[in-house]
Amino acid sequence: MKSKNAHKDHFDCAEIEELAQKYIDGRLTDHEDKLFKEHLEYCVPCDKKLKFELQLKEFVQLKSKEEVPTEKLKRKLNKLFEELN
């Protein structure tokens, strides 16, 4: 199946925003990847947004691997419940 972007010779900022998650996940075609990277070379706002998205993904992955000590979590939850009552 051919990509709907196979005929394009550049992407605009709206298209970059639309394709950002596919880029982050490594799901762009070779042609889309090339055009995506070319756009980032000259568009500072899109480059900054993408860098933020990549940092956010890395942060979420890092935090999701951290283990929360069970007792500490229980104490925090109990304190929150006490405050609500």
The answer to whether the predicted template modeling score (pTM) of the entire model surpasses 0.75 is no
| Helices and strands (H and E) in the chain: how many | 4, 0
7 within domain boundaries? no
Render pLDDT for 24-65 as a digit per residue (tens, 0 to 9): 999 999 999 999 999 999 999 999 999 999 999 888 888 777
1 within domain boundaries? no
Angle formed by the axes of helices 30-42 and 44-65, nearest 10°: 110
Into how many domains does the chain fold?
1
The pLDDT of residue 3 is above 80: no
User: Residue 23's domain spans which residues?
Assistant: 13-84
Q: Report the distance separating Cα 14 and Cα 81, nearest Å.
A: 45
Q: Supply the CATH number for residue 51's domain.
A: 1.10.10
